[in-house]
Amino acid sequence: MRLLFIADGRSPIALNWIAYFCEAGDEVHLVSLYPCQPQLPLATLRWLRLPFLGSQIAARPAQADLLRRLFPAQWRTTFRQHLVPLGLSRPAQELGDWIERLQPDLVHAMRIPYEGMLAAFAKPQCPLLVSVWGNDLTLHTTANPLIRRLTRQTLSQADALHSDCFRDQRLAGQWGFAAHKPSIVLPGAGGVQRQLFYPTAGSDRQLMVVNPRGLRAYVRNDTFFGAIPLVRRAMPEVRFLCPSMQGEAEAERWVQRAGVADAVELLPRLSRAEMAALFQQAMVTVSITEHDGTPNTLLEAMACGSFPIAGDLESLREWIAPGVNGDLVSPDDRQGLAESILRALQDEQLRQRAQAMNQELIDQRADYSRVMPQARAFYATLIREGGNSGGRVTDRE
């Protein structure tokens, strides 16, 4: 298959998915909205520049660091939501010209803003598959009327849909994706690679809580950091580790406000192997968000045996039964989060039962070696039938 992906070429989620097709021997082309040098055997790699996206700044670490220090994640997201859609026309024409020259069998835009929007403008003459990522249809569609119109246009023109939760299949229908078109529900990164993410002996666990979500507009770090003093009143020895927050002024301010500098370690961005080791040691992993689909870090934590606590969202109830194999709390409830963390830390039997259930759940629904063959078969069907196979495919069928 000759495949063209439109994605953020820096994203571990996107690259984990794309790597499977490279390894399968397909001819893989990547158009990235950010400068990148992925270690993949790509046939071609192109950087498509979008005005106001910040990709030029991302290529200059010093400027990117200054921007992060001056503007919180929420402000940066709002800035992009209002300005990037205004500058899609010319890049979309460039993308259309490239698609015309390349003649791929299938184009896969790996999220709606802004890859899917560009692909919809470009109107490829081959099947267009669009992925919905966790906040495409909840966070971004509330931004402004233009984002809403472009989202509807993208889903109306897509020949097929991939989402990482069943909730987004339902929402996509409300935003213009026709019910007769083919769709599939699979984890966004292609699932969990079990040779890397697996539980170690229980004795290796430490009195440690991990927050792997970093600084994003939809992550409730105020709730997370606000819960830490409440946890420490009962268990002062608990440590809290936060990957991708080292050197981030916003995270440093949260630590100072909560007065928990002695209990919190802000870590740099970690490799997947380093993240696996962290999840294998941590008793609890916390992922408190207002918008989410199926977070890949949450699946990885579950695969490593760490007890998952997340925001109480419809999409996450597809994976977590509160009080059974994890817990869900209101994203703005720091007291509830603290109580949930304490319950998990203090109840070893609860953690053991959850670990056993989550191992089976990951093996059945999120094992990379099972998920990605389904994705490749879906591609083949779309190509064979021109994107009009007229059925829905899910990981539960």
> Per-residue confidence of the chain (397 residues) as pLDDT tens digits?
999 999 999 999 999 999 999 999 999 999 999 999 999 999 999 999 998 786 554 555 565 565 566 556 666 777 777 788 888 989 999 999 999 999 999 999 999 999 999 999 999 999 999 999 888 999 888 878 999 999 999 999 999 999 999 999 999 999 999 999 999 999 999 999 999 999 997 667 899 999 999 998 899 999 999 999 999 999 999 999 999 999 998 899 999 999 999 999 999 999 999 999 999 999 999 999 999 999 999 999 999 999 999 999 999 999 999 999 999 999 999 999 999 999 999 999 999 999 999 999 999 999 999 999 999 999 999 999 985 544 444 444 3
pLDDT of residue 395: 47
- Report d(CA 13, CA 117) in Å as an integer: 19
- The continuous run of DSSP H or E covering 379 comes out as helix 368-385
Dihedral (CA of 41, 43, 47, 50) sign: negative
Q: Report the Cα–Cα distance between both ends of the chain, in Å, rounded.
A: 25
- Report d(CA 66, CA 294) in Å as an integer: 31
pLDDT of residue 54: 65
pLDDT of residue 141: 81
Peptide bond into 368 cis (omega under 30): no
> What domains, with CATH codes, occur in the chain?
2-191+368-394 (3.40.50.2000), 202-365 (3.40.50.2000)
pLDDT of residue 72: 65
Sheet holding 183-185, edge to edge: 44-47, 27-32, 2-7, 106-109, 128-132, 160-163, 183-185, 392-394
| pTM (two decimals) | 0.90
Beta bridge mates, 393: 184
